Structure 1
Amino acid sequence: MNNYNLDSFNSQALDNRVSQVMKRVYVKMFLALLVTAGAAWICSCIPNLVYFLAANRWVYWGLLIVELLMVFGISGAVNKISSPVATLLFYAFAILNGVTFSLIFYAYSTVSIFKTFIITAGVFGAMSVYGYFTSRDLTKIGNFLFMALIGLIIASVVNIFWANSTLEWIVSIAGVLIFIGLTAWDTQQIKRMAEYNGGFSLPRLATIGALTLYLDFINLFLYLLRFFGASRD
């Protein structure tokens, strides 16, 4: 009886930990999306800034490289810096991402951007729920998706110089499918890290988990925008 009570207590404690982690993950991710959307909207209201980014391609790409370095930096240093600093860097990244996102309002209508966001939220939510509750081990799928993501990046870089419409179409479809799958896989991975501690404290795990799902959401949104985005012209 005592062993049963102890097991029941441990199981409840584990469920509470996982629940706390996932709540913090989704809250931080949602706030980061709001920060990005707000920064993008504010910057889009400054025509000179938008025109500057559009006209100076290397500046724009430079900002994207800085964003990439920030992602690697936060992921690599999350256990070496305090949780508040990691969270601050995450939101700083979200702001910078919003600056580069301002060009979206320059290229697409506000209505189509909003519609695409709603579609993205629905798809992301469904796949994240699936990843959280499924009893299926998604590890093999995750490994395949990671390799597919590398191929997607290579194809995208090649098409920057080749500018082939057929390849662009293939990349767009592949991007949607890959990030749909990654959303489920990453959610399951975060849940497992919460269950087995994963080498992170609860606040740090919430930050790295929020960053991971934030990136899934953003990339899924960008690829869906290629299909549902309507030009401002």
Structure 2
Amino acid sequence: MYNDTNHPKILIVEDDVHINNIIYDVLRKEKFQCTQAYSGSEGIMNVTHHEYQLIILDLMLPGFSGEDFMHRLRIELSSDTPVIVLSAKDKLDNKLNLFKLGAADYVTKPFEVEELLARVNVHVKRTSRTDSATRYRHKNLLLDSGTMNASVNQADLKLTRQEYKILELLLKNPTRVFTKQDLYELAWEDIYIGEDKTITVHISNIRNKIKRVDEEAYIDTIWGIGFRLAP
């Protein structure tokens, strides 16, 4: 199961508007969330500020090439997001070079949308299996339970242990409203004795750390009851 409160997100980096729109329409019909970019620089800007489960990348781009995009993605951003490359270049050397740069797949233009969709589904499922054990995503927030690390727009939130546990509880149960007692007993693994300020302060700290890198709301206060993940 894919631990995401939204549908998987895919970035399409293709300067041909017609092809970009065709891919977008096909993927949207399959319930994927898609972002369209029309240059290498625009694509990198999106990756810098958002988390994606898959990138579809054309090689011949204005600004800088698909190869440059791959280098920046893997080396400068240290991103392991799988990339499906689209290119009219069908020589083996070109394909091998892209695989060395970290491409997950290679589709030669012109292509059938059914083939591209099949490849997209394979890579999204593969990413889902990897993520399901340790990662939880919501909006631009990524939680890694293996490392107990939380980031928004790839910026480390530097949460304390209890702050992390509170946020993890909310992401694992996106529709549940937690009382202060719930959060205290689950995050601290201790008996709640009515210390309201402890939870309130920790929630405030989490919100402030997120607000430094994202204006989106991530935690809702349900007055008189408690807290839940903001939809």
TM-score (norm 1): 0.26
The structure where strand makes up a greater share of residues is: 2
The structure where helix makes up a greater share of residues is: 1
Larger Rg: 2
Higher relative contact order (CA 8 A, sep 6+): 1
